[in-house]
Every structure is written in structure tokens, then in C-alpha cells.
A and B are shown apart, each in its own frame.
Chain A
Amino acid sequence: MLKNTFTNIFLIVTILCAASTAMAAPPPLSAADMMVLNRVSWGNSETASRTMQAMGREKWLKWQLHPTAADTLPPQAQAQIDALAISHSTLVQLANGIAERDKAVKQIQDPAEKQVAAQAYQQAMTDLARQTAARHILRALYSPAQLREQMTWFWFNHFNVHQYKSDIRPMLADYEETAIRAHALGHFRDLLAATMRHPAMLRYLDNTENAVGHINENYAREIMELHTMGVGSGYTQADVQELARILTGQSVTRRTDTPRLKPELQSQYEHTGLFEFNPARHDYGDKTLLGHVIKGAGRSEIDAALDILTHEPATARHVSHQMASFFLGEPPPDSLVQQMAATFQRTDGDIAATLDVLFHTPAFTSSARFKDPVHYVISALRLAYDDRVILNTAPAQNWLNRMAEGLYNKETPDGYPIDAAAWNGPGQMAVRFEVARQIGSGGAGLFRPDKPNAADQPGFPQLQNALYFDRLRQTLAAPTRAALADATSPQDWNTLFLCSPDFMY
């Protein structure tokens, strides 16, 4: 508490200092500044560029790497989030509510009535997922702590779960908030540990089925292949099986009683929220993971496995490689990965420190990153509406689904691809232009509040704004300028600008 307040005061002083120097003579943002801003944030906007200009690039970067609780959303955006059911219910409450509905559906005898109730039950779950997506989009658009929101998206994708499996939809909000976002710029071990005991992950990768005597190795394999070391980095099928044994007994439960256990196992039982460690389902034999012997001991084996996995050099390399690919938009040079991995290892997996290395490498301002659909849509809305808060995220959610990168909608645990070639095929460009037309033409429902019979207000996207005239216009390619000169209306101009190659990076 005290420490937090102290940091806040420190930050306010820092900003005031920055503001006072800004009043003196803030140097205009350079092309490299603009590139850093565009990449570290969810996309350039007038407000964000003014903030960076006032602070200077280095201070701005430091702030983005170490945001505090004081970096809150604008009140209109926060009020929308506060109004969501996911904001005032716990994971257990949401899951119980959904389970009760399921039980009620099963008791209905009449087939027609049952079908209607079953659909309503599914819809209730989907509503919770869409609320989570709404929160995500509002934060991406308006949070001053832009990097934290970007890394929240990145890590969710890294530790992907799919909304439509089983009862994951009611778990998404808590998973994103407590397992992912809380550690997005913290230490990798905390992030990995939080995902390892979150019900959404245990459900998604079938660890709920993993028990002594009938091992399910699905989750163990993905931890090694995707979450930590990376495929082909030296672990074996035997390591996967050993990790699966270590993970036995970790499951999801809504039970209210304590299972009958042998007296010597009773103290090992843990039930927190929906998480359960059931010693009766755990394999208490000794394990050998990556050459390290782990004595059978129950849940503490997980801590040993976390230490081993996070200290593996392969993990430092794999995680660095993924972060660098995400920000550069192309495979990173080996030297950069090594440099980042060295920092990762030296700082015990400090994500912010590792990103700091990336942000200061020459490749960071020389590569061209093609926007994937999420970056495309969010950056278009940031540029078009700046800090004018949209009233409904549903159109944005639908655009992302249409562009095949819907939030929480990647079925497989590898998450969405982060290379440009996965997103710039002919069919995808054609769909992207359709979305550009909808964004460019007006509100598209973004300013129709999400309630029955609400009236739509025109959006008036302001793409020809001060940022455009001061900074962007000069950089446009000649064919883009020529096409924009042929626009027949402001809506048409917006559409063409959002379709231009200049806006794709």
C-alpha cells in the first residue's frame, strides 16, 4: 500500500516535470519516435503522441514498462466496464450461476421447452465471454498503460484457451485478469504458475482428466512445447510423461464437501475457488524431469517443476523469440534473441527488463510489422476516435471474428500466428477492406449503447485530424495520395485511407 502510494507520487512528480519541460519546448516526435509509439501502443493516436512528446521517448518507454495502479481508464470507459456482470462477480459465483442454469435445463422434461432453455444457457455463457472481450477492447483502446494491454493480449495468446470448450466462457474474465494481466509485465515464473493452476487452463488442456493410473499428457506437452521451452529444444517424450505425472491431481471442482481421504493425505488436500488439488488422484512416485529428480511430494512438485522449466535456457530463448517476433513482425535475428535471453536469465525472467532490450535494438525501428486483424481494428479505432469513448464494442468483436482473429476464439493451444504471412493473403485483404469500409463510413453501431431499442448515434470518425496533418500526411506514398485525391466523400476518404498500404504497418 505505502509502496504503491509512494510510486504514484513519484510518477506524478515525473509527469509534472515532463510537463514543465514540455511547456518550455517539446521537441517534435521523430520518425523513430512515431514508430516506437505505434508499436509499443495499440496504435498511434493524437493523445498518445502528445503524451510521448511531453515526456520524451525514453521516459515514456520506462513508464510503459512499469505502469502503476494510477494509470486508470477514462471514466466513461471505466464506467462501461464497471457495469458488466464480470466486474462484480467472482469466478466461483459466475461458474456456479452457469452450473445452476445447466442443472435446471437438465430437469426440464418437455423437449421443446428444454431446447429453448438449453439455448438460453449457452447464450448466458457466451454473454460472459463477450463481456470479457468488451473489457479487453475498451482497455486496448483507452488505457494509458498501453503496453500492459498489448502484453495481456500477447500472453493470452501464448497461454491460449478456447472459449467454446466446455464451461470455459464463465472463466475467461478471471483467467485474463488474474492469471495473465496481473503478470503481463512481471516475472515469467509467476505468469506460468498462475496459468498452471487456473481452472480455465486445467479444463482447456484436459488436466482435469489427468490422474494417477490414467495419465493425460495433453497439458504437459503444451507446457513444454508452447509455453516454456519450445519444440525441438531438447526435451523428450519421457520428460512430457514425467511432467504429466507431476501435474496429476490438479483439477477443477465446484464441490462443497471435502473428499474422504487417507489420514496421511488429508493435509495435502487443497481447494481454493474452483481449483482443487486432490492427493488421491496424484501420482506420488518420484519423477525425473530434464535430468532433475523430483521426489514424490504432492503439490510442491509443481514448484520444483516451475523452477526447472523457468531456468531452462531454452525457455529464455523461446519466450524471447516469441516476444521479439510479435513486436518486429518478422523472425528476429539470433543475436537479438540471445541478448534478450541473457537478460531474461539474469533478471530471473523479468518480462519488462527483457522487453527493454528489445525496445532499444536497431531492428525495433527498422522492421515493418504488418498489423494482424486485432492490431488493425484497434489501431483504426484509436486513430479515428482518439479519446472519444465508443459506447458498444460489439461491432469491433464482430469485425475480429470476420477477420478470423476473434478474441478467445482460437481453437488450438498454439494461439493465433504472429507472422504477417498468416494474415495478408488475398482473401484476408479483401475481408480487411470490407471492415475498413465499415469503420470509415461512420458509427457502424459503435455509438449505439448495448441495450434494447437504443438509438445509434453517428460516429464521425476523424481520420483527418491534427496527427494526420502534422505527421502522417507527409509520409504517405504517392499512389496513396493520388487515390485519396479521388475520394468522393469524407466516408470514402476514410475508407481509402484505412485500405491504404500506409495504414497496414
Chain B
Amino acid sequence: MQRRDLISTFAAAGALTFAGRVWAAPKADARLLVVFLRGAYDAANVVIPVSSDFYYESRPALAVARPNDSTPNAALALDSSWGLHPALRASLYPLWQAKQLAFIPFAGTDDVTRSHFETQDTIEMGQALQGARNARSGFMARLADVLTAAKPIAFTEQLPLIFRGNAVIPNAGIASASKPGVDDRQAKLITSMYRGHALGAAVEQGFQVRDDVFRSISEQAAAGHRGAVSPKGFELSARRIGRLMRDQFNLGFVDVGGWDTHVNQGGATGYLADRIGELGRALAGFSEEIGPAAWADTVVVVISEFGRTFRENGDKGTDHGHGSIYWAMGGGLKGGRIAGDQVDITQATLFQNRDLPVLTDYRALFGGLLTRMYGLNPVQLDQVFPGVTPKDLGLI
């Protein structure tokens, strides 16, 4: 309830008219978290095209039933064409109803290799497929370069390509965090050995972030969860990220694996339902932990390298496809809607008679969103996504 009041206030205060179009005022304290579902999540079984008969014909074993209040396993109504997986009922459906969650179907890349690794790299680089690509330059690193007050961090054990570039960006695995054994004196001596070395900045930041993250996690653990069951797995990580992005960082990246469901993925229940349920609890936990004030300025974007085959395969699973469905969430989001170009899903509209088509390019989508969030000018945007025309879906 409170949240809903907050959005309208912020939406009104944050908008201004510019050359006949409504643009969001650049916010100094805007926060962005990109969540990458590695392995290509089966978008069509999470954000479900419930009005498509072809969906039900294509997935006899996997389909989630059309919205129906009398059964808990039916999809939750989003609009007349789409429904949401029931595993998200308690976690994210309330955010949809509060208009803080939007879905962008038919989103993805023009990379048709159907290779996880290749397409993940394509997205993280954010550079045109044609022409020479710089494999050491990720688009979030370039975004951090053009923002004046960015405090970036990757919540991953390895520094992902998306954050590699000119400046060193810190990373910290947060699933486990124990008290550091290397003491301050040793840390100083070690840092001194790397002065002037290519890894100097990484070492310095490594110690800094190690201390920041450990302090934040200790405080959070001390505060407790008011008697609730302690969260585990990605939900625990996401709550820690929420706290860290409330207090210390404003440009974050995290990835979650386990979506490559070739075999027995389940429908309303089963493997994918469990994973999606955990993801939903994690994102809801993040929004709670970051707190209402910061949440109002935060945008979370959930992406994946591609979608999966629209038809189920012979093993009650799905294979590598093309178009996916992205998510955008945030306290100031103009959500509660399906954004971007759409097409009725029939056999005729499938890409290569196999997959969802891509109608919204990931770079154009991010370009439009970043322009609104940060007020980037065309020159700045071109540094992040060279040669891209932003597509403004009016998400904030």
C-alpha cells in the first residue's frame, strides 16, 4: 500500500516535459542492478502467452494452464494475452499489481549461434555483431565510465565480461563471507608490492571491498530477520545485495545459473518452477532489503542470453532458441504492463519455425532505459552502445 503511494509521488516529481516529450529528470542517486539468468531460462513458461492456442498445442506436457481462480496451478493473469507463472504468486505478483514490474517480451539479440557462451559474451560486450569487437570491454564498464557518480560492483566470484574495461571494477562473491584472515598490516604490505603494477588497482579495491562487504553482511546478520526462516541460496545473496546497494553501491551485476532445461523441466510445478520461485523470493527480498527510499530510485533488469524452443522437445524439456522475455522492476517503474512491440504467437510468427522472434533489441532497450535513468546525452550513449538508436519504452 505504502509502496503504491510512493510510486505515484515519485513518478509525478521525477517527470518533466522536454521538447514535447516526457523525460525523466536525471537522478543523481539512480541505482541499477542487472540480473543475468545464465543458461537461457524458458521465458515462455514463466511469462506465459495464455491467449495463444498454439502455445498449448506446442507444449502438451509443459504448458501452464490459463488463469483460473479456482486452481492454484493456473497462470496468474497479467493482461488479456499474458499470464505469470504461479510460483511467483507471493513474491513478484504483488509488485506487478503495484505497477512496479514490467515484462518486455520478444527481447534479445541478433546473435543466432544459439550458443550460451557466445551469446552471453555478445550481450555482455554490448557491441554490434558486425565489425571488430573488443572482447575486453563490457557495456556496464562503459556505463560506469560515463557516469560521474557510479559506484559499480559485480556480486560474482569472477569479474564478468560485462564489467571489464578501462577502469578496474570490484567484484565480490557474497554467497559465503567469512572474517578475513589477512590482517591490516599484511594488507598494507601486499598493497605496497603492487604499487605501479598492472594489478595495483585490483589489489587495492579487493581489500577495500572485502572489508565493506564483510561489515555489511555482519551488520545484516546481527539485525536478524525478525524470527523468519533464514533465507538460503540466491535469496540470501539477493538480500545481501539489497543492503549493499542501499548503503554503498549503485551499479550492480549478479548472475544466476541453472536454467538450461533440456530435460524434465516441469510445468506449474517441478524443476523450473522451483528455480523461478527462488528467483522471485530473491528479487522480492532485494526490494525489501534496499528499503523504500532507495527502491524508489532503483531499477532491476532481468535478462538471459536467449529464449528456448517454443515447442517442447521429446524429453519434456526445451532446447536453445532465440527471443526471450526480459523483466524490469523498481519503485519508480511505470510497470504493470507488457512493454515493447508484440506479435501474436502462431506457427507463422515463430523465428525459423522454432523460436520466439526478437522484436526489441537488448541494446536499444538498455539505451532507452539508461537515457531515462541517467539523462545520458547521445554522445554518452554512443560510448556505452556504439551506433545504437535507443528505444524508449517509457519504463520510468
- A residues adjacent to B (C-beta < 8 A): 206, 209, 211, 213-218, 221, 225, 231-232, 237, 404, 411-412, 414, 417, 421-431, 433-434, 437-438, 477, 479-480, 482-483, 486, 492, 495-496, 499-501, 504
- Chain B residues near A412 (CB, 8 Å)? 38-39, 116-117, 257, 260
> A427 touching B209 by the CB < 8 A rule?
yes
Q: Which of B186, B195, B203 contacts A426 (CB 8 A)?
A: B203
> A430 touching B158 by the CB < 8 A rule?
no
Given pairs A231-B115, A424-B202, A434-B181, 19 additional interface contacts (CB within 8 A): A206-B262, A206-B315, A209-B262, A216-B262, A221-B115, A225-B118, A425-B159, A426-B205, A426-B206, A427-B173, A428-B171, A437-B186, A477-B193, A479-B192, A483-B192, A499-B182, A499-B186, A501-B194, A504-B199
Q: How many residues of B contact A (CB 8 A)?
A: 56
Interface residues in B206-261 by Cβ distance below 8 A to A read 206-210, 257-258, 260
- Residue B164, interface by CB 8 Å: yes
- Residue B196, interface by CB 8 Å: yes
- Chain B residues near A217 (CB, 8 Å)? 319
CB-nearest residue of chain B to A232 = B113
> B114 touching A237 by the CB < 8 A rule?
yes
- Nearest CB of B to A13, in Å: 47
Q: Which of A218, A421, A483, A492 contacts B164 (CB 8 A)?
A: A421
- Known pairs A425-B154, A486-B189; A411 contacts B257 (CB<8 A): yes
- Chain A residues near B118 (CB, 8 Å)? 225, 231-232
- Chain B residues near A215 (CB, 8 Å)? 313-314
CB-nearest residue of chain A to B164 = A421
- Residue B180, interface by CB 8 Å: yes
Give the secondary structure class of A's interface: helix
- Residue B57, interface by CB 8 Å: no
- Chain B residues near A486 (CB, 8 Å)? 189
- Chain A residues near B164 (CB, 8 Å)? 421
- Residue B263, interface by CB 8 Å: yes
> B314 touching A214 by the CB < 8 A rule?
yes
- Nearest CB of A to B97, in Å: 35
> B171 touching A214 by the CB < 8 A rule?
no
One digit per residue, 1 when the CB lies within 8 angstroms of any chain A CB and 0 when it does not, for chain B 141-180 equals 0000000000000101111000010001111110000001
A186 to B205, CA, bound (A): 44
Counting from the closest, the 7 A-B pairs by CB-CB distance are A214-B314, A425-B159, A430-B206, A426-B206, A427-B171, A426-B205, A404-B157
Query: Among A412, A422, A424, A427, which residue has the most Cβ atoms of chain B within 10 A?
Result: A427
CB-nearest residue of chain B to A496 = B189
- Residue B320, interface by CB 8 Å: yes
Interchain residue pairs with CB less than 8 A apart (7): A209-B315, A214-B314, A216-B314, A412-B38, A412-B117, A479-B195, A495-B186
- Chain A residues near B189 (CB, 8 Å)? 483, 486, 496
- Nearest CB of A to B37, in Å: 13
- Residue B190, interface by CB 8 Å: yes
> A211 touching B314 by the CB < 8 A rule?
yes
- Known pairs A425-B170, A426-B170, A427-B206; A434 contacts B186 (CB<8 A): no
Q: Which of B154, B156, B196, B199 contacts A429 (CB 8 A)?
A: B199
